[in-house]
A and B are shown apart, each in its own frame.
Chain A
């Protein structure tokens, strides 16, 4: 690619120096989106409006009236985020032809910072999946090897950043849907603390877990985007009262004295690829050489994470997805009576994985099973939170692999839902505990990227971003770009 022009910071500098216009950048993103069409990463572009917005950004800049860090920078959002007058389909047949009547908070805030939303990215239907294969648009292909998955559910966003379509894209993370695709695609992605970013305008999947965050090549770029979208929003009742944190200014590169915890349960996991584990250990050694201290910590309830997660997430999803009934928006299958209309609409509108999760969620909430499944999972959630509280009393950040493996081959797990669920083993615990986590590239195995996950205590975004940025100053994994881009 043309030098540093696929990072947000690089694009901003080039804009500031007048080397490039926002129109150039937006046009280039639209061209890249078209050239990489075969990878199934971008599911819709708003070319005309985006170019108009780029022109407006260029005019502001000429008038000395720029909006700040992101003014004129092209970005993509996930297909489960709404923007006035634009489709938001959640990769589902049931939201075919839906056009949003309002702006989501993420679109509003990106717009206020001057960013130009150029389109929407592919995902697993309603964010349910770990591979971006459960999509009405077809599977997303990994730019490092098109026979492999991008991860999911925000696979299109991760892949689009990897393939340099844009410098940054927004994803959402419920059980790992930002961090795992970041790992598979060799980009950086952060899931903020629960409540940090407003979800007004994010289509709900599991409301006690969902959180929005950015993908970019670098931790610095993630910090710039997160600063723009974080902060209290009264329209989201789970939004934290804290104002948007200052993040980019805290990227000092200094990790001396910082304590990195290595949870033994994560490194002893049966079935994890030893080459992935070795790569993550080497990344930790790099931080140690830079002055960080490393100590082992324990998260004893880790092995219950997946079970608790899938019980809670499906229960919440079964309730949230009750709204797709063919009445107010989306697809309707005309039927003689109301009940048949609900059933026909939902049965034709939802894909297999979504139906499976709705039925599982309905089952675990139903009379006779509530205590054994749902309440039990909520209690285990308390134990998992306590594990992290305990661990963070002994360390500043926790380092783990993001995924037990590198990108798997498309189709490899799609016939076995449980096998697919198990690939989220390292990522489901952070949303259960509400804590922030970031994945960044730390090496490769057989030409495929490996992700290092750094977890922080609640509201600890500044710390994990500082460590991630410090690591990226010492290494160049984040500078590598994939070859297969069409």
Chain B
């Protein structure tokens, strides 16, 4: 039984803001199916009551004094942007395009 269908791959890719061609979707469904089949081995392990590990070596959240520091020069911060107006990042119009999400 397959663990992930091409439709699920397409849906998940949309969540991740990726568009896949039909071929890419089919190939990815095949690859992910094999991978999910392999990782299913974890299900055979009883982990009742085992705490999950999110960080291997936990350190307490570090705090610093709330003092102003020298920020990155705004011109430098914008230097890699594909489009700016000199003080801000410019993106295509967000509202009123009639598109979903």
Contact = CB atoms under 8 A, between A and B. Distances in A.
B80 A240 contact: no
A388 to B, nearest CB: 10
B83 A332 contact: yes
Contacts of A338: 91-94, 97
Contacts of B8: 363
Interface stretch (A131-139, A156-164, A431-439): A431-439
A359 B80 contact: no
A408 B24 CA distance: 26
A2 B54 CA distance: 48
Interface stretch (A63-71, A249-257, A369-377): A369-377
A311 interface: yes
Nearest to B17: A342
B16 A358 contact: yes
Interface in A300-327: 301, 303-304, 306-308, 310-311, 318, 322, 325-327
A6 B78 CA distance: 40
A52 interface: no
Interface in A385-444: 385, 417-418, 421, 431-435
Given A329-B81, A342-B17, A362-B15, A417 B35 contact: yes
Contacts of A381: 52-53, 56
A359 B82 contact: no
Contacts of A376: 42-43, 47
Contact of A380 (B4, B9, B47): B47
Interface residues on B, range: 35 or more
A347 interface: yes
Interface in A339-363: 339-344, 346-347, 350, 352, 355-356, 358-360, 362-363
Nearest to A434: B56
A263 interface: no
A195 B16 contact: no
Given A240-B59, A418-B35, A339 B20 contact: no
A101 B79 contact: yes
Nearest to A208: B55
Interface in B8-56: 8-9, 12-13, 15-20, 24, 28, 31-32, 34-35, 38-39, 41-43, 45, 47, 50-56
Interface string A210-239: 000000000000000000000000100111
Contacts of A346: 16-18
A381 B57 CA distance: 12
B46 to A, nearest CB: 10
Given A337-B93, A356-B28, A373-B39, A383 B16 contact: no
Interface string B72-94: 11001101111100000101111
Contacts of B4: 363
A359 B56 contact: no
A101 B47 contact: no
A210 B43 CA distance: 26
Interface residues of A, number: 77
A337 B77 CA distance: 24
A372 B3 CA distance: 13
A472 interface: no
A238 B55 CA distance: 9
B56 A433 contact: yes
A273 B62 CA distance: 46
B39 A195 contact: no
A355 to B, nearest CB: 6
B91 A458 contact: no
A303 B44 CA distance: 12
Contacts of B79: 99, 101
B17 A417 contact: no
B57 A194 contact: yes
Interface string A92-104: 0000011101100
Contact of B32 (A238, A336, A360): A360
A303 B42 CA distance: 9
B17 A325 contact: yes
Contact of A347 (B18, B42, B77): B18
B55 A347 contact: no
B52 A379 contact: yes
A101 B80 contact: yes
B17 A343 contact: yes
Contacts of A234: 62, 64
Given A194-B57, A240-B57, A421-B35, A359 B92 contact: no
Contacts of A352: 24
Given A101-B80, A327-B91, A359-B28, 5 more contacts: A311-B39, A337-B99, A359-B16, A363-B32, A435-B56
For the complex of A and B, 5 pairs with smallest distance between CB atoms: A434-B56, A378-B52, A329-B80, A332-B82, A101-B76
Interface of A: 97-99, 101-102, 193-195, 208-209, 234, 237-241, 301, 303-304, 306-308, 310-311, 318, 322, 325-332, 335-344, 346-347, 350, 352, 355-356, 358-360, 362-363, 366, 372-373, 375-383, 385, 417-418, 421, 431-435, 458
Interface of B: 4, 8-9, 12-13, 15-20, 24, 28, 31-32, 34-35, 38-39, 41-43, 45, 47, 50-57, 59, 61-62, 64, 72-73, 76-77, 79-83, 89, 91-94, 97, 99-101
